[in-house]
Amino acid sequence: MTSSEHDEAADTPAHPGAGQAAAPEGGTTVSTLSPPPEDTVVVPADEDPVAAAGSEVLGGAPGRRALLGVSWWTAARVLAVCTIVVFALGMVQKVPCYNSGWFFGTTAQYDHACYSDIPHMFSLRGFSTGTIPYLDRIPGATDIHMQYLEYPVLAGLFMWFAAWLTPSGGSDMHREQVYWLLNSGMLMICAVVAVVAVMRTHRRRPWDALLFALAPVLALDGTVNWDLLAVAVTSLALACWANRRVVWAGALLGLAASAKFYPLLLLLPLLALCWRAGRLREFGQAMAAAAGAWLVLNLPFMLLHFSGWATFWTYNVNRGVDYGSFWLILSQNGVVSWSTTTVNIVILLLMALCALGVSWLALGAQRRPRLAQLAFLIVAAFVLTGKVYSPQYVLWLVPLAALARPRWRDFLVWQACEVLYFLAIWFNFAYSTSPHQKGLPPDWYHAAIVVHILGVLYLCVMVIRDVLMPEFDVVRWDGSDDPSGGVLDRQDDAFSVADEGHWGPKYADSSAG
């Protein structure tokens, strides 16, 4: 066996099970067997070398007589506990800032890499004085593009609700600490909701959700901002779609888009896959529900105070090149000196090209891709091409990565890149704000940005390989088609630009008998 064949053989299942074709050396074959039984559960230690090695800490992989899922410790409870523990560790990591770093010293919150927007926003956005988002101007606001809260409506209401719960007595420092604790508790609930939703999206692979529960970035970035709210609602939408609750999936996607912009991107792969499978009616239902839910939440603020509601859009359009993006490297090294308008246009063009690429994969791949794969790719494209990459944005990708490429090796490679970037951005802030310039200088920070970009691209390449060569897609090893696809799962192609006579028409015949 050559070295390259050995690398690929590591991606093959160690123990083919029911409904699973044995893999040849150096790769796997796409199973043409009938669908696997609904009540069977994939054990990661049986098919993932990293998971198998990690299981030795707990006594090794389960044997054939092991009774899985029959005790009180069901998969959902184990995953919830793991998520809470990891999230709590992240809160402990913020203790130096909670005690003093957010309040005293110029660079303390950067030196300890424990920065969070949450306590600062309590005062800076007027929550400490009872300001109502979108209706009341931010006290003392000087930026003409940010006179009102610059977050989408659902996120703004989440922030305002935590402020409403915060006691009015005590010092400003004490109130900001309480505000952070309240938000952290609410975000922890969001994290638990997200992990259970991921578990229920691929019902035969519940333990893939451990990738989310144990992700290092969940601890590091979970309380930096409010992104976990959008992550939780988006994960619920995907779980509902996987379970054929089309209207609920659409409504939740509309709510998620009211917390962050990126969930809207999932409509593109959903449209392309529904077109290929002849399920445009279901897409229309989901789209209508998404639009309805979005309007129910946003329309009152649009009617009451449109300019306040529109601040999220105007702020992001007028925002210049910022931290974390390859645009920052080009700008600070004098490669480009474009105006914000020009950068916006180029980003739109790049995203359009990426959207065309994802659409081509959806319609042109010989075997219809899985929804989670294309969802990951389109959100990754948005992350890579944007003019800013805040470290918590990685949370958008974690549940999608767990569903698209549930392989611990690839996941951990990507996570290592993101942890490095997390440390680099705060140390660079320390360098730029310290009078003695102690921290990470710009050139090294630019290198960390490149590492982050390469990590995301690496995972994208692995997902694209799985799409073009589905014999390497671990989710499909046992005869599964698209567990997250809902009405798309095991559906014949109604339209495809792939070569005639390939998987689509043949799959139904083989699965039928």
- 423: enclosing H helix or E strand: helix 408-433
Among 225, 220, 193, residue whose Cα is nearest residue 209? 193
Q: Is residue 170 part of a domain?
A: yes
**Per-residue pLDDT tens digits of the chain, which is 513 residues long:** 443 443 444 454 433 333 333 333 333 333 445 666 666 777 776 677 777 777 666 555 555 545 455 567 788 999 999 999 999 999 999 999 999 999 998 789 999 999 999 999 999 999 999 999 999 999 988 888 889 999 999 999 999 999 999 999 889 999 999 999 999 999 999 999 999 999 999 988 999 999 999 999 999 999 999 999 999 999 999 999 999 999 999 999 999 999 999 999 999 999 999 999 999 999 999 999 999 999 999 999 999 999 999 999 999 999 999 999 999 999 999 999 999 999 999 999 999 999 999 999 999 999 999 999 999 999 999 999 999 999 999 999 999 999 999 999 999 999 999 999 999 999 999 999 888 878 999 999 999 999 999 999 999 999 999 999 999 999 998 889 999 999 999 999 987 776 544 444 334 333 332
List all residues 6 or more positions away from 44 whose beta carbon is below 8 Å from its beta carbon: 51, 52, 207, 208, 210, 406, 408
The domain in which residue 248 lies consists of 73-488
> End-to-end CA distance of the chain, in Å?
36
What's the pTM value of the predicted model, to 2 decimals? 0.89
Q: Is residue 66 part of a domain?
A: no
Q: Is residue 102 part of a domain?
A: yes
Q: Is residue 56 part of a domain?
A: no
Among 450, 430, 497, residue whose Cα is nearest residue 105? 430
The span from the CA of 508 to the CA of 513, in Å, is 9
Q: Which two tokens stand for residue 59?
A: 């006594």
DSSP class of residue 97 equals I
Q: Is residue 32 part of a domain?
A: no
List all residues 6 or more positions away from 404 whose beta carbon is below 8 Å from its beta carbon: 370, 372, 373, 375, 376, 377, 463, 466
Among 161, 168, 507, residue whose Cα is nearest residue 367? 507
The span from the CA of 366 to the CA of 466, in Å, is 12
- 199: enclosing H helix or E strand: helix 172-201
Alpha-helical (H) ranges within 107-152 are 108-111, 117-124
Strands, DSSP E only, in 250-315? none
Overall domain count for the chain: 1
Contact 380, 459 (CB under 8 A): yes
Q: Is residue 17 part of a domain?
A: no
Amino acid in the structure at residue 437: Q
Q: Is residue 10 part of a domain?
A: no
Q: Is residue 302 part of a domain?
A: yes
